[in-house]
Amino acid sequence: NNGTRAEIDGYGGLRGTFDKLGVDVGFIRYIYTGEAPSAYDFTEGKLAVSYDLGFVIPSAAVYYSPEYYNDSGSALYTTAGVAVPIPVTEFSPTIKANVGQQHVEDEAAFGLTKDKYIDWNIGLFASYWGFTAGVQYVDTNLSKAECGGLDTCEARAVVSLGYTYSFWSTPNPAPPSL
């Protein structure tokens, strides 16, 4: 009911691994189509790290926007999580859990009554041929009243399907010599 017909996210960055350490630096541009005000569009920078211990992969990330959604000022999102691979099938099932804190400079413009809140999620994901399907439980510590009277901050299940394509891949090893 705000004139938005769709959200289009453009993102880019660099991701690398150094032995078991993963580093991801990038940006995300959120664009809202339809008659939505241009103040809804914003850009966010990202820095994330992870470390593969084999049986569990802990991670942490920081997202920053100098001018967040609806001209609500600067915003900082910090998150930490774990991924637990289940090595039983070719579908690479993984249990993932995260907890994060969103801080917004002007919470009223953002549509909240608090300048920061906590969110968390836990889910199961599986991948095959570049597709990843998942189902997860998500929630926040905001009540409906603290969320501008909207249901968007309440607990819910989220089902997702994504596809990832990499422009670069590890080269094939040389054939054995005879």
Tell me: the pLDDT tens digits for 109-155? 888 888 899 999 999 999 888 899 999 999 999 988 888 787 888 89
Q: Which amino acid is at 44?
A: E
CB 10 within 8 A of CB 28: yes
Average pLDDT over residues 161-166: 84
Q: pTM score, two decimals?
A: 0.83
d(CA 95, CA 83): 6
Tell me: the pLDDT tens digits for 38-76? 889 999 999 999 999 999 999 999 999 999 988 999 999
Q: Quick one: pLDDT at residue 169?
A: 57
d(CA 147, CA 82): 27
Q: Quick one: pLDDT at residue 105?
A: 92
Under DSSP, is residue 1 helix (H, G, I), strand (E, B) or coil?
A: coil
Average pLDDT over residues 7-28: 94
